Chain A
Amino acid sequence: MPRNQGSREGSPFTGLGPVFLKELSDHLSSTRMMVLTLFVIVFGALPVGFTLQEIRTVTASDQFLFLRIFTVEPERMPLSFVVALNFMIPLMAIGLGFDSVNSEFNRRTLSRVLSQPLYRDALLLGKFLGGLATLAVALMALFLIVFGAGLLLLGLPPRGPEVARGIAFLLVAIAYGGVWLAVAMLFSVIFRSTATSALCALGLWLFFFILWPMIASAITTGFTPAQFRSVDEVLTLEQFSSALARLSPGTLFGEAVLGLLNPETKAFGYFANLVMAQTRGMIPGTPLPLDQSLLLIWPQITGLIAGMIVLFAIAYIVFQREEVRA
C-alpha cells in the first residue's frame, strides 16, 4: 500500500489458499454456475451434434477427422463449436467475475475479511484464480463431453497429434476466458453497483463482437487505394486490417484455434496464405506439424496471456487505492 512509508512486512500471498478454495466452492455450488454451464452445453452440443451426423456420412479419408468436430460448420446451423465457444466463453467469464469484488462490498463482508491477516493482493488474486479454475473445470467438462461423443458416434479413436492439439486448444480457451474474467473483475472493482459492472462488461463484449469488426473494416476501407500497384500493397493492407481486428480478444482466440484445429493453416488472411504457398513452395492443403502450428499462433497466445495480466494489474492497482469504508 503506502510506498512512501517503508516496505510492508509479510508475504502478499498469506491467505491466498483459503480465498481460492472458498471462491471455487462458491462458484461450483452456485445456481449461476449451473445456468451458465447449461447455456454453454446447449450452445456447444447443438453444433457438435449436427456436425457429428454429417461427418459420419463422409467417407473420404481425412487425417484430422476428429478435429473437424470442433471446426466444421454444420449445414443445418451456421455455427461451429469453436465459433460458439468464441462468444460463450466471454459470457461465462463475465458471469463469474462481474460481482466478485463489489458484491463483497455491498454485503459488507469486505472490511471484515480484510481485517483478517491477509493483504488485498491475496484477496484479488484468490478470487481471480478461483474464477479461472471454475472456468477451467467447466471447459474441461465440455471438452471431454465432445471428445466422448466423438468417440461414441464416430467409433474412431483420436490420434496422438489430435489429442495434443485438443489439449492445446483447451489451454488457449482457458487463457481466453482469463482475459474476460479479468475484464469483469476490473469492472467489479471500479463500480460499486453490480448491475453497472455487468452492463459495462457485457457492453464491451457486444462492442468487440458486433461493432469492432465493422469499425475495423470501415477504417481499412478508408486506407484502400483506388487501384493496387503491387502485391506488397495488398499484403500490407491485409496486415493492417488483421492488426486492427486483433485488438479484439475474440480474434486472437479465433486465429489461435484455427491454427491449432486446422493443421492446414499456414498464415492468417487470404492473401498471406497465397503468398506463403507461392514464395515458400508450400502446397495449400497440406498440414503443418504441431510445433510449426504452435509457432504460428505463438503471438496470439502471448497476446491473450499478456492481455489477461495487464487487465488484472489494472484491477489490482484500482483495488489498492479503493477505500474500504462505505
Chain B
Amino acid sequence: MSDPTRADTVIEARGLLKLYGATRAVDSIDLSIRRGEIFGLLGPNGAGKTTTILMMLGLTETSGGSVDVLGFDPVRQPLEVKRRVGYLPDAVGFYDHLTARENLLYTARLLSIPRRETDARIMEAMRSVQLADVVDKRVSTFSRGMRQRLGIAEIVMKRAEVAILDEPTSGLDPHATFELLEMIRGLKKAGVAVLISSHLLDRVQSVCDRVALFNRGKIALMGTVVELANKVLGAGHPILVEASGVDVPAALRGLEGLQQVVPEGVGAWKVMADREIRATVAKRIVAAGGSLTRLAELQPSLEEVYTRYFEEARRAA
C-alpha cells in the first residue's frame, strides 16, 4: 500500500482521522486511488465523505494520519496540491453577476495561467462541456445542470491531474445526470483520476471503476462493484427467468447448483445458483412444456449491496 515507487497512485490516505469534539467524523481510513480510474466514495449523508475530500485538499485540518496527493502533503503544501487538483464542491456556486467567461477568467488569474493562453483554454474547456455558445451569458441565467458543467469546465481549464467531484449529480434531472456522467467519463479518457462522492448509487455505479462504501466515518467495503456484490450478496450467478405455462420452481427442483427461486412478479422468477446454469434451466423449462420468454443474467446492483450491507450492519448493532 505505502510503496512510494508505485507511480500510478495519485491519492494515498493512511489512517486518516478527523475529530469534531468527541465525534469521529472520519475514522482512520485507508484509501488509495490510481491514475486514470474513477473512484466512488459512496455512503449516506453525514458519513464523512465531504470531510475526507476537504482533508485531501488541505481545506480542513487533519486530526491524525496522513494523506499524499500527487506526492504532496495537503497539510504543508496545500498550494501545490490545489494547483494540480480540480474540485467541484457540492452544489457549486459561481458569481451570478459575471458571465461564464468572466468566472473562468478569475479562476485562470488565480491559477496564474499565462494571459495569452487564457482565452483558448477557456473556450476549449467550454466546448468540452458543450457550453461554448453561452460563454458570454451571465451565470444567473444558468440551470443547475449548466452550473455543474461549468464546474467541470473549470477543472478541464485547470488541466487538473485529479478531479474531485462532491455529489455532482444531486438535484439534476435524469438527462442532465446522463450528460454529466458522460463528461466525467471524458475526464477519465483524458487521463484524469476522478474521485466522486455520492449518495445516489445507481447513477454513479455506471461510471465507477472502484467504490468505497462509507458508514459512520469508516470505509465499510472497498472494491469493484462485482467484488462488493460477491462479498455481500454471496458469490453467485443470479438469473432472471420469464416463462409461461409452467411451474418454474417445480421444474427446476433438484437442479445441481441451484440455491433459491424467488418470484419476481407475474410469470417471472429470480433464480440464484452458485454456477452458470442458464443452459440447463432452459432445457428443464422447455422439457416441462413451458414457453421461455426471457433468460437473463442479473447484474449485481450497488443499491442492493448497499441496502443489504446496512441492513446487516444495523441488525448486528
Point out residues on A near B: beta carbons under 8 Å.
1-2, 5-10, 14-15, 17-19, 21-22, 26, 107-109, 111-119, 323-326
Establish whether residues B85 and A8, one from each chain, have CB atoms under 8 Å apart when the complex forms.
no
CB neighbours (8 Å) of A18 from chain B are 106, 109-110
Contact A7 B60 (CB under 8 A): no
Nearest chain B residue, comparing its CB with the CB of A109: B93
- How far is B301's CA from A18's CA once the two chains are assembled, in angstroms? 47
With contact pairs A9-B77, A10-B77, A15-B110 given, residues A115 and B82 touching in the complex (Cβ less than 8 Å): yes
Secondary structure class of chain A's binding surface, majority of residues: loop
How far apart are the CA atoms of A38 and B130 in the complex, in Å?
43
Residue of B nearest to A17 (CB): B109
Chain A residue contacts of B154, Cβ below 8 A? 112
Docked CA distance A1–B75 (Å): 8
B190 interface residue, CB < 8 Å from A? no
A115 and B50 contact, Cβ closer than 8 Å, known pairs A18-B109, A108-B92: no
| Contact indicator A115/B57 (Cβ below 8 Å) | yes
Contact partners of B80 in chain A: CB under 8 A: 9-10, 117
Instruction: Name the residue on B nearest A106 (C-beta).
Output: B93
- Residues from chain B with a CB closer than 8 A to the CB of A113 are 107, 110
Please, which residue of chain B has its CB at the minimum distance from the CB of A11?
Answer: B79
Contact B75 A8 (CB under 8 A): yes
Q: Is B40 in the interface zone, CB < 8 Å from A?
A: no
Q: Which of A9, A112, A116 contacts B92 (CB 8 A)?
A: A112
Complex CA distance for A214 and B88, rounded to whole angstroms:
53
Q: Which residues of B contact A6 (CB under 8 A)?
A: 75-76
Interface: B306 (CB within 8 A): no
B69 nearest CB across to chain A (Å): 12
Other than the given A8-B77, A18-B110, A112-B88, 13 more pairs (CB < 8 A) read: A1-B58, A1-B61, A5-B76, A10-B77, A10-B80, A17-B109, A18-B106, A22-B109, A112-B93, A114-B59, A115-B86, A118-B110, A324-B60
Find out whether the CB atom of B54 lies under 8 angstroms from the CB atom of A9: no
Residue of A nearest to B164 (CB): A115
- Bound together, the chains give a CA A8 to CA B78 distance in angstroms of 8
Closest Cβ–Cβ distance, residue B171 to chain A (whole Å): 12
Give the CA-CA distance A117 to B83 in the complex, in Å: 5
